[in-house]
Amino acid sequence: MLDHLGFAVADYARSRAFYSAALAACGWGIHSEDANSIMFGPEGRPQLWIGAPEIAGKPPGHIHFAVQAATRAAVDAFHAAALAAGGADNGAPGLRAQYHPNYYAAFVIDPDGHNVEAVCHAPGSAEDQQ
């Protein structure tokens, strides 16, 4: 089981703004922060750490990670917020039945080129399935 994930970013202020906006749509907030790093996660569970290169080292190669969203509407909100915060579309919100029948996800590329996904595993409403 994954406890937390951390990685370096090229421009800390830009990435802080991007992740603050995009992850808030999934119910994630800021748990701790100093001048060069920040921890995000759901209430009481810091799970994502980003840091400036001077404390984290050279940014690694591109990674992929997914955050769970409680609803399909939260996935939609994540995608919209991430795009508005400077992300690039890498897969609009929708079902990915190749993973399982209720896999509803959206993908964006963050300012450093990382592939960030929000996913909801819950069945959708009747309106979602039309």
Q: Is residue 127 part of a domain?
A: no
Q: Is residue 102 part of a domain?
A: yes
Query: Could you tell me where the DSSP H helices lie in 57-117?
Result: 72-84
What average pLDDT values come out for the chain (130 residues) when binned by 10 residues? Answer: 77 94 95 91 90 71 89 97 97 94 96 93 68
* pLDDT value of residue 2: 57
d(CA 31, CA 98): 35
- Record the pTM: 0.82
- CATH for 73: 3.10.180.10
Q: Is residue 114 part of a domain?
A: yes
Q: Is residue 129 part of a domain?
A: no
Residues 15, 6 contacting (CB under 8 angstroms): no
Q: Is residue 125 part of a domain?
A: no
Residues 9, 52 contacting (CB under 8 angstroms): yes
Q: Is residue 130 part of a domain?
A: no
* pLDDT value of residue 80: 98
Q: At what angle do helices 72-84 and 12-24 cross, to 10 degrees?
A: 150
User: What residues make up the domain containing 45?
Assistant: 5-120
* pLDDT value of residue 81: 98
* pLDDT value of residue 129: 47
Q: Is residue 126 part of a domain?
A: no
96: its two tokens: 């990915």
Domain count, the chain: 1
Q: Which residues contact 128 (CB under 8 A, 6 or more apart)?
A: 72, 104
Query: Could you tell me where the DSSP H helices lie in the chain?
Result: 12-24, 53-56, 72-84
